[in-house]
Structure 1
Amino acid sequence: MSQNDQTADSRTGLLSRFGDPLVLLLTVGFIIAFVGLSLYDIQGVADGIASGFTWTAATLGTYFQLLLLLTFLVGIGVAISPAGEARVGNLDAPQISTFKWLSMIMCTLLAGGGVFFAAGEPIYHFVVTPPAFDTEAGTAEAVAGALAQSFMHWGFLAWAVLGTLTAVVLAHAHYVKGQPLQPRTLLYPVLGERVMKGWIGSVVDACCVIAVVAGTVGPIGFLATQVSFGLGELFGIGQGYGTQLAILVVLGAVYVTSAMTGIHKGIQVLSRFNVFLALAIAAVIAVFGPTQFLINAFTQGFGEYLSSFFTMATMTSETAPAWWMKWWTVFFFAWFIGYGPLMAIFVARISRGRSIRQMILAVAVMAPIATALWFTLLGGSGIHYQLTGVIDLTEALNNFQFDVATLTVAQALPGGSLMAMAILLLTSIFVATTGDSMSYAIAVVCTGHDAPHRLVRAFWGIAMALMAGILLYMGAGQISALQQFIVITAIPVSLVLLPSLWTGPQAAYAMAREQGVVAPRGQAAAAARH
């Protein structure tokens, strides 16, 4: 072998282990630029992002909504079609047990955001009636609509865009065609080889990584403020930056260690522990909380969700206040779009051996129903206590102080301070599971295969914790600005997801034909003629 060949091989090996240098340059460059510009002109950065956020919500909000709605409808169509029998990853049996698999899906995709908003959002919609309903705020009649609106934001549409059609496309491309587990692979059916080997593919991957960094650093930073607030309320510990930094160090150490040990060790262990803790908290609330109220609230709320589904899903700023659409539906839907490609990589990776039907129904149906139950237990209890005068969160929620809402509801639940500590721990581990799975997914994107080097996983975990720490030092406002930035990043990411509306069904049927689940095209056409 010549010296040039050896040099080329060493470069290939280095690239395989540590990733595409252009992706690394663009993503790390974004982190440095965002932090540097914030240090130089913190208000200017916040104002610029706020203007971009407002423009994106007003101009593209309806497009985001339609993308989620169509993804869900087409995904369900694929699941119930004959192609749904095809197996992901060319394995006859799943690599991961059903309980572990479902735990990882729930903990990674629901994550800290769902826990953070589970108590406060339903109460907010109870005290401020959503535009899809005309009930009087704060009354018993407003309960069903409040829960239904929360279910819409965290329900079928949100989950479907995180790992249904896109996961099918990636699974077929990677496990059958040998293409890399990278967002650029989603565009291969449209752009061909030029997106796989050129700079375009690197830019696509970088945009998707930046969106996930923006979406993950936010919950990490907000968790530090929430836990420090909780420790201050429960134990009188100071809520200053020192406490928040200590929380970030502990959290970062947990999820970086988990990410470095991989899917089959740390990530599974954290997810299982979180599910058991969530089930224990749910059992206490269901048995010792306002049980009858919660049963009635879930039944009415979910019924309202189903009956008003299309009304809420297609509501625009023409039929609802622009500020409401911007800060609720469009914000959440854009956030989920930003996570879409990397979550799809994670779902495709952990679903090997599952049928396409199992994967889609678990993500797009089972998980949303479980989320609705969780929101009912926490948010429904909060509504009950708000309705009966035990707590009053009207002012706090009008100021979007959801950390206050979570702790207030937790302390009103059976067990008081003990329940508050358990929910803070649960929230922390939920964020940790997001941190470890996204560190892993970003490393997969950078390297292009599903066994990225441990140092790459550790690098991204540490980078996100450091970014959260620096932004918290500047003030929670910069964390909020970064959260708003994900709405802007949803623009390019949505274009990466868009082709899966037709390439997803194509990939599913290709897998089904290859596995003999459905007849090859020629045979099917001949059978139809006869």
Structure 2
Amino acid sequence: MTFKSIISSDKLVSILTVGFFSAFLFAATMDISHFSTIINTLFGQVAHLFGPFWQWLMVGNFILALIVALSPAGRMTLGKRSKPEISTFRWLSMIMCTLLAGGGVFWSAAEPVYHFMSVPPTFSDAQPASSSAVSAALSQSFFHWGFLAWAVLGTLSTIILMHAHHQKGLKLRPRALLYPLFGKRLENHWFGAVVDTVSIIGVAAGTIGPIGFLASQLGYSVESLFGVENSLTLQLCILSAVVAAYSISAFSGMDKGLQWLSKLNVIGAVLLLLAVLILGPTAFIFEQFGNAFGHYVVNFPAMSLGEHDAGWMTGWTWFFWGWFIGFAPMMAIFIAKISDGRSIRNLVFAVAVCAPIATNFWFSALGGTGIFFELTQAGSISAPLADAGLPAVLIAMLQQLPLQFILVPAFLLLTTTFVATTGDSMAYSIAVVTSQNTTPSKYHRLFWALMLGIVAGVLLMAGEGGLGALQSFIVITAAPVSLLVAVTLICAPITIREMMRQNAHVNSADLVPVSQRV
């Protein structure tokens, strides 16, 4: 009796994934201190070993995606539809909200201020906490949430998956990224199950982290605003509300809950952006966005491939690259599900060019406002940052603006809905991979939505070390996933060449007179 006859490849993915997180939670709750020490040690080792490789991988992925988009191949349509089924606004909304997640609010306020107070290595000539550090702080933030980050999440990998799924009949799952090299041999093979499992673990860790940190951040916000103690009970109540919201959305389906959440997020983000621009330092924001974006483009090679202090790179660039790479295969599945009928050029420019620029301006608005207040009144932002860490920056910045009693709860609500959108979409993607059907049942989606929340809750109860260990573990899981993403640099050209050959065959057939066709 063979292994294949004992257990199917689809069931093996679920068993391995659930088994892994069960073991992870058991180890975390048994001795969180010792467990965190082991995880942090592995985190440092993986970051130092893979960090430089990730830098080249991110650059190579972005450049190749742009070359494909600008070439004649960019005109080809992905999927089976001649026209998209989802409107452009909803399509962009779902992509922006899922990829940006809670980072769009949390990091956009905190990271620029942090770099302003402690200048990144690339801009070591700038004086910290001075006007010369403004462009440096924003440029570094643009880099971490810019072209490279977005490109790896949904360009080449999405193209490969859509061709393998729609034209070759493979299921939408990470192992399909290897189709150009292995054909269908991995469809029912244990190695394919391992590839899927590693990818699920990577995206689950990257999703559970923001869900848990959201509870911590909102707990801090409630305490600072209303004086309610930021206790474990409060954080678990907040977490339960967030999990309930995105679980209901996941249960209702992509065409209902997720599209509604995404649309709500985009409208809310635009309204709050306008509020910050009107009530905040408008001229400063626009001026610094232009200056910083110019610095970003000029220093792009140095930030992308420069060899800086390993400790700084581990805490910032390598951590972000590991986080985004870990998301890549599952994020590509989600984008593939909603991009039928889009052209390659449309996909690449929307994901790798337009979305990053919009993100960069968002960072300028929130982070730039915080920097402005710190420049004009030293300590107004840096003091809360020093006392309570990164979560304090957003609240401190908003409290400097008029109508803070409206803006503070509005931004906290937006952060919550952003994270909920990510939880919803990633639960859907995991369900797609672990289901035997192309469209997973609502109960299957609900199971994974709840699973993400349960793991976050258990890690919250384990103390700060639990979520901290998970944050470090994000980088560890990115190591094997990055090897899969690296293979797409080979598989994407093979896929593009085959797509062009098929298109040429179809076009030549269309030129043959009807009377001569057999």
TM-score tier (shorter): over 0.9
Paired position in structure 2 for 1:288: 279
Partners of 2:136 and 2:265 lie apart in 1 by 29
| Post-superposition offset of 1:38 | 1.1
User: Normalising to structure 2: TM-score of the pair?
Assistant: 0.94
Aligned counterpart in structure 2 of residue 91 of structure 1, from 74, 81, 89: 81
Residue in structure 2 matched with residue 275 of structure 1 by the alignment: 266
1:392-411 mapped onto 2 (5 Å cutoff): 392-394=380-382, 397=385, 401-411=389-399
Matches for 1:87-236 after TM superposition, within 5 Å: 87-133=77-123, 134-236=125-227
The answer to whether the Cα contact below 8 Å between 2:92 and 2:350 also exists between their aligned partners in 1 is yes
- 1:417-442 CA deviation, whole Å, 9 max, x = no partner? 32111110000000000000000000
> Deviation of residue 117 (structure 1)?
0.6
How far off its partner does 1:66 sit? 0.7
Pair 1:359-2:347 in alignment: yes
Question: 1:44 and 2:34 equivalent?
Answer: yes
Contact kept? 1:152, 1:309, Cα under 8 Å: yes
Query: Structure 1 residues 178 and 286, CA, compared in 2 at 3 Å: closer, same or farther?
Result: same
2:385, 2:344 → 1: CA distance?
40
Q: Secondary structure of 1:207's match?
A: helix
Paired residue secondary structure (2:86): coil
For 1:400 and 1:304, locate their aligned partners in 2 and report how far apart those are by CA, in whole Å.
30
Distance 1:289 1:138 in 2: 20
Query: Structure 1 residues 493, 511: closer, same or farther in 2, change over 3 A?
Result: same
Q: Distance in 2 between matches of 1:374 and 1:299?
A: 13
Of 250, 268, 276 in structure 1, the residue corresponding to residue 241 of structure 2 is: 250
Q: CA deviation at 1:335?
A: 0.3
> Is 1:346 the counterpart of 2:337 in the alignment?
no
- Work out the CA distance in 1 between the residues paired with 2:506 and 2:352: 24
Distance 1:508 1:410, change over 3 A: farther
What CA distance in whole angstroms lies between the structure 2 residues aligned with 1:477 and 1:297? 37
Judge conservation of contact 1:114–1:154 (CA < 8 Å) in 2. no
Equivalent pair of 1:188/1:196 in contact (CA under 8 Å):
no
Aligned match for 2:464, one of 472, 476, 488 = 476
TM-score of the two chains, using structure 1 as the length reference: 0.92
Change in Cα spacing, 1:256 to 1:293, as seen in structure 2 (3 Å) is: same
Would you say the 8 A contact 2:284–2:372 is kept in 1? yes
SS at match of 2:342: coil
Match of 1:301 in 2: 292
Distance 1:449 1:367, change over 3 A: farther
Structure 2 CA distance, aligned partners of 1:237 and 1:449? Answer: 46
Task: Report Cα offsets for 1:352-375 as digits up to 9, x if no partner.
Answer: 111111011111001100100110
Unaligned runs of 5+ in 1: 1-7, 524-530
| Deviation at residue 448 of structure 1 after TM alignment | 5.6
Q: Deviations over 1:252-309 (max 9, x none)?
A: 1110111122221100000000000000000011122100100111000000000000
- Alpha-carbon RMSD: 2.0
Number of equivalent positions: 505
In structure 2, which of residues 39, 42, 49 is the aligned counterpart of residue 59 of structure 1? 49
How far apart, CA to CA, are the structure 2 residues paired with 1:297 and 1:390? 19
Within-5 A mapping of 1:12-23:
20-23=10-13
Question: CA 1:400/1:33 → structure 2, altered by over 3 Å: closer, same or farther?
Answer: farther
Say if 2:366 is the partner of 1:375. no
Which residue of the partner structure matches residue 480 of structure 2? 492
Counterpart selection for 1:72 from 54, 58, 62: 62
Which of residues 223, 231, 241 is equivalent to 1:240?
A: 231
Note the 1:251-266 alignment, pairs <5 A: 251-266=242-257
> Partner letter of residue 52 of structure 1?
L
Distance, in Å, in 2 between the alignment partners of 1:473 and 1:420 is 27
**Residue 39 of structure 2 is aligned to residue 31 of structure 1:** no
Structure 2 counterpart of 1:108, one-letter code: T
Code of the residue aligned with 2:236 in structure 1: it is L
Distance in 2, matches of 1:518 and 1:72, equals 30
Of the three residues 419, 442, 446, the one matched with 1:454 is 442
Shift of 1:519: 7.0
Check conservation: 1:181, 1:449, Cα contact below 8 A.
Answer: no
Change (3 A) 1:400 1:292: same
- In structure 2, the gaps of 5 or more residues are 512-518
User: Which letter maps to 1:131?
Assistant: P
CA deviation vs aligned residue, 1:461-501 (integer Å, no higher than 9, x gap): 10111111111111122112101101011111011111211
Q: Which amino acid aligns with 1:242?
A: T
Higher mean C-alpha deviation, range 254-263 or range 405-414: 405-414
Instruction: For residue 343 of structure 1, report the CA deviation from its aligned partner.
Output: 0.3
